[in-house]
Structure formats: structure tokens, C-alpha cells
Structure 1
Amino acid sequence: MKLILVRHPAPDVASGICYGSSDVAVAPHILAAARASLLASLPANLPVYSSPLWRCAGLAQALARDLPASQFIQDARLAEMDFGDWELRAWQDIARGEIDAWAFDLAHYRPGGGENVLAMATRVAAFLDELLREQHAAVIVICHAGTIRLLSALQAGLPLAETALLAASGAHKIAYGAVVTLDFQRPIVTPAI
């Protein structure tokens, strides 16, 4: 199955803010530009899956209508990681000790008391496993950089704790509105932790 992953357009939030699972908006002109660009390159008549967060769902709804999509489904398992008390705070205002604690244990530490990367990996893997059972030839998924990183890491077929570390290691280079295509030739079995 081909997964055509699209990162949401740039949200209407100041640079340097941790916004993870916060439902931040996208300016109408940014949304329109992303929509126009993607319409020219995405195939029609495929299922469209989306994170329910507006920065993804707004684009996904428009694309599902315009392409048209064979079906449109919002799935909470595609949402970005929940950073708890860090949400909508400037990264520079988060205590250095907390950020260091997360860097020391990327898979298990819960930033701001929110979700850890392993928990996010578990829900993204559950989404992928279900999607693979549906046996589509290809799907479009509008989601977040963290979700794209995890879906990419799941291709390795590693245990989930290792998948989480693989996805969380290093800075990502997935631009807003970028398209990343993955090909899963066979079902991926992700062993338990």
C-alpha cells in the first residue's frame, strides 16, 4: 500500500511555540495556497484520512471534496503528540532541566506531563495496522511531522520502543505542506514493547 503523507500547512502560531496537540488555526490564505498546490499533485478517488486537529482537518476536508476522495475519515490516532503543560508555551520558557530530562529518555519521558513518544508510537502503529488490513492500493493521510516520522520509522519493523527512538532522534526536515510517500509492501508487525 502506498501512503501519501501530507504535513499540514503552517499554523497561525508564533515561531518558537510548542503547539503539539493544541488545535491551532491556519490562516485562510495559507490554507488556500496549500490546497491549490496539493490539488495539482495528489491523485483523485483515494481515501483521505486526517488528524482531527484543524490545521490538518481543514485542508483534508477541502481536498476530499475537490479531488474527490472515495472516503474521508478523521482519526484521532493521527494527532500530534500531547505536550501537556508545555502546550502553547515558548520553547525558551520551558525549564532546561525538563527538556534535558526528555532528551535523556526520548521514548518514555512525558513532556509537560502529557504523552510520551512511545504512547504516540503505539496509537500510530494501531492506525497503520488497521489501515493495512483494509488493503487499499493507496491512501492520502493529512497529518503532522511527528506522525509522519513515526509512520516512516514503522517501516523498519522494529519493536515500538525502538521505533519511537528512531522517530524522535534528530531534528526533522519535513516542511509545512510537504508530501512524503511511503510504500508498505506487506503488513508491518510491530512487536510489543
Structure 2
Amino acid sequence: MILHLIRHPPPRVAQDVCYGAMDVPAEPAAVFAAALRADLLPGLPLWSSPLQRCHELAAALHPVPIFDERLREMDFGTWEGRRWVDIPRAELDAWAADVDGYVPPGGESARQLQRRVLDFVAMLAVSEAVLITHAGVIRSLYAHVNGRSIADCLDVRPAFGSRTTLVLA
């Protein structure tokens, strides 16, 4: 299966704020959609995270996008909407010590994110698809395809509005 993973446009949120499952708006999708439309095969099925930073781009790229909760970004729980410097240092240190397994208070771990994304991919009955999603989702799929831990893939940082193509066996 070939997956074209597209990261949403830049969000309209301060750079020092933790956002994952928090639904924040994004920069207008039109410029990104035009460039991506020229680069994608027409007619491919398209699934998207329902978060608004993905929603507008999905609607601009496909007449009938399918929205699925499993494609949303990692849930950072009580960290959502807080400035990174305001999150207790001990919690950040615990996360850094176990990137894959640590669960922020009230949130989910990177491993839990990966499980839900892989559950989504397992139900796809297509040979090729477009997914409008988030960096964490893209990173988790990249780690899976390459047989690496998510912690070993922290350098995978897709640009806003960019496409990453992965082939899943």
C-alpha cells in the first residue's frame, strides 16, 4: 500500500504552546492545496484528521474527504494549550526518558498514537491513498515502516503542507 501523508498547513498558535489534540485553526489552505494538487494523482481516496488544521486542506483537495479520529495528533492531556515552559520539568524529563511509552497526564503515549494509526491503516482496503494529518502521525508511520522506535525518529519533522510517501508491505 502506498500512503501519501500530508502535514497540515501552519497552525495559528504561538510557537511555545503545546498543541496536539487541541483543535486550532491553520493558515489558509489554498496555496498548499494548489501545489499538492499538481503533485498527486487525481482520484485517489483521501482520509483526514478531523481537526480544523487538516479539515480545510482535505476539503480543498478532494470533493468527498473522509474524516477519521484515528488520524488526529497525539493527545497531550493536561499539557494541551500550555506554554512548554509552564509544564512541570519532572513531567518533561519523564517524557524525554521514555518518548514512546510516557503518557502525559490525561493524554496518550506516542506508542498509543502509533497503535491507533496502525489500526486505521489496517482497515484500509486500497492500494494507494492520501492522508491529511499531523507530524506525530507521520513520524509514527515512518518509524513503523522502517522498524525503528518513535524515539529514534524524532528527527523526522515534515514541513507544514509537505507530502511524505511511504510504502507499507
Name the TM tier (shorter chain): over 0.9
* Residues 58-137 of structure 1: pairs in structure 2 closer than 5 A: 58-65=56-63, 72-131=65-124, 134=125, 136-137=126-127
- Paired with 1:128 and 1:93, the residues of 2 have a C-alpha distance of 35
What residue is the counterpart of 1:26 in the other structure?
A: 26
What residue is the counterpart of 1:182 in the other structure?
A: 166
Q: Which letter does structure 2 place at the counterpart of 1:87?
A: E
What is the root-mean-square deviation in Å for CA atoms of aligned residues?
A: 1.5
Return structure 1 stretches of 4+ with deviation > 3 angstroms: none
**Alignment partner of 2:130 out of 137, 140, 149:** 140
Q: Which letter does structure 2 place at the counterpart of 1:16?
A: D
* Residues 2-41 of structure 1: pairs in structure 2 closer than 5 A: 2-28=2-28, 31-41=29-39
| Structure 2 contact 70–120 (Cα < 8 Å) conserved | yes
- Paired with 2:130 and 2:38, the residues of 1 have a C-alpha distance of 14
Per-residue deviation, 1:176: 0.5
- TM-score, normalised to structure 2's length? 0.92
- Paired with 1:96 and 1:126, the residues of 2 have a C-alpha distance of 33
Q: 1:54 to 1:77 in 2, by over 3 A?
A: same
* Secondary structure, aligned partner of 2:74: coil
**Alignment partner of 1:173 out of 138, 150, 157:** 157
Q: Deviations over 1:43-95 (max 9, x none)?
A: 11010010111111111011002xxxxx5211111110000110011112212
Q: Which letter does structure 2 place at the counterpart of 1:59?
A: L
Q: Which letter does structure 1 place at the counterpart of 2:135?
A: A
- Can you give the 5+ residue segments of structure 2 that lack an aligned partner in the other structure? none
Pair member with larger Rg: 1
Per-residue deviation, 1:116: 1.1
Q: Deviations over 1:30-55 (max 9, x none)?
A: x2211122122111101001011111
Identity in percent: 45
- Paired with 1:171 and 1:82, the residues of 2 have a C-alpha distance of 20
Per-residue deviation, 1:104: 1.4
